[in-house]
């Protein structure tokens, strides 16, 4: 991301950088929605991570950078390393840039609309005790959450297992909309590569618990699950029902490494 006007400490504190991992997204990335959002002039930057795509994803991202200016950056990884490492590398880079008080990640297909970013950030601004805010796909009256039944029920089973493993009453670990307050602890959590390729969200929480010497009570007041107003399954998702089996395996690998 390029140079912008000088930022005050207060404006940098409230600014957010969102990492968007991209692998072969040339025909799925809703680039015009990103352009429209950026041109609204919010305190939100985007860092797109091209994870070794074999299609025209990189060209599309470079066009986004040219059109949007310094609010958009591109991190090009020549070799595909998986979503987990794309997110981690992007968040580490975003922290190193030092432009924002908040960093997070968002799914490229915009199953969670961009408008929700401001809502999640506002929770962090209003509550200094919070260290992370997670989008949560809860079907409530007045909310528009559309999810295929098989993925919903598999997700509920998985979330229940994760809650037991982490000893945290978390409803939705796998929603691809999460924002964190920049802190030395977050930098430490992101220092090493993840052992999980898909359920790195669970691994992030496990690493925070390990830093707190297994005391989950310290996390209760620092995490907020935000019930999303809108979320929709988008065709072409790379997550298949069979991947839930691998997710369970990875969860117990995470437990063995960090929590046993």
Q: Does some domain include residue 1?
A: no
Residue 3 has pLDDT above 50, yes or no: no
Number of domains comprising the chain: 1
Domain assignment of residue 210, yes or no: yes
| Mean pLDDT, the chain, integer | 92
Query: What's the Cα-to-Cα distance from 243 to each of 33, 103, 239, 252, rounded to whole Å?
Result: 29, 27, 6, 15
pLDDT tens digits, residue range 125-160?
999 999 999 999 998 888 999 888 888 888 889 999
- Determine, yes or no, domain membership for 4: no
- In a domain? residue 72: yes
Quote the percentage of the chain above a pLDDT of 90: 79
**Contacts with 74 (C-beta within 8 Å, 6 or more apart), sequence order:** 47, 48, 49, 50, 58, 61, 62, 64, 65
Report the alpha-carbon distance of residue 212 to residue 189 in Å, rounded. 11
Owning domain of residue 146: 13-259
16 sits in which H/E element? strand 16-22
**205 assigned to some structural domain:** yes
Reported as a pLDDT band with limits 50, 70 and 90, residue 99 is very high
Q: Is residue 6 part of a domain?
A: no
Pairing of strands 132-136, 177-181: antiparallel
Cα separation, 107 vs 25, whole angstroms:
11
**What is the pLDDT confidence band of residue 5, given thresholds at 50, 70 and 90?**
very low
8 lies in some domain: no
**CB contact at 8 A, 171 and 137:** no
* CATH code assigned at 183: 3.90.550.10
Q: Six-digit token pair at 134?
A: 């997670």
The predicted-structure confidence for 182-203, as pLDDT tens digits, reads as follows 999 999 999 999 999 889 999 9
- How many helices (H) and strands (E) the chain has is answered by 10, 9
In a domain, 226, yes or no: yes
């Amino acid at each position: 991301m390029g140079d912008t006007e000088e930022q005050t400490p207060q404006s940098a504190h409230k600014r957010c950088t969102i990492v968007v991992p991209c692998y072969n997204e040339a025909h799925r990335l809703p680039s015009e929605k990103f352009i429209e959002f950026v041109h609204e002039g919010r305190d939100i930057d985007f860092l797109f991570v091209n994870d070794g795509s074999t299609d025209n994803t990189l060209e599309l991202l470079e066009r986004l950078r040219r059109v949007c200016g310094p609010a958009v950056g591109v991190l090009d990884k020549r070799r595909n390393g998986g979503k987990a490492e794309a997110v981690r590398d992007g968040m580490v880079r975003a922290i190193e840039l030092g432009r924002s008080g908040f960093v997070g990640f968002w799914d490229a297909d915009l199953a969670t609309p961009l408008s929700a970013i401001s809502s999640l950030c506002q929770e962090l601004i209003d509550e200094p005790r919070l260290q992370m805010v997670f989008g949560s796909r809860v079907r409530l009256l007045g909310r528009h959450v559309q999810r295929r039944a098989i993925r919903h029920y598999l997700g509920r089973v998985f979330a229940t297992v994760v809650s037991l493993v982490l000893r945290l009453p978390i409803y939705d670990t796998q929603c691809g909309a999460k924002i964190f307050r920049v802190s030395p602890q977050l930098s430490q959590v992101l220092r090493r590569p993840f052992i999980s390729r898909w359920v790195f969200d669970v691994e992030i929480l496990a690493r925070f618990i390990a830093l707190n010497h297994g005391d989950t009570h310290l996390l209760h007041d620092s995490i907020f699950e935000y019930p999303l107003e809108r979320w929709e399954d988008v065709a072409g998702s790379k997550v298949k029902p069979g991947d839930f089996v691998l997710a369970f395996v990875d969860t117990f690998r995470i437990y063995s490494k960090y929590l046993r």
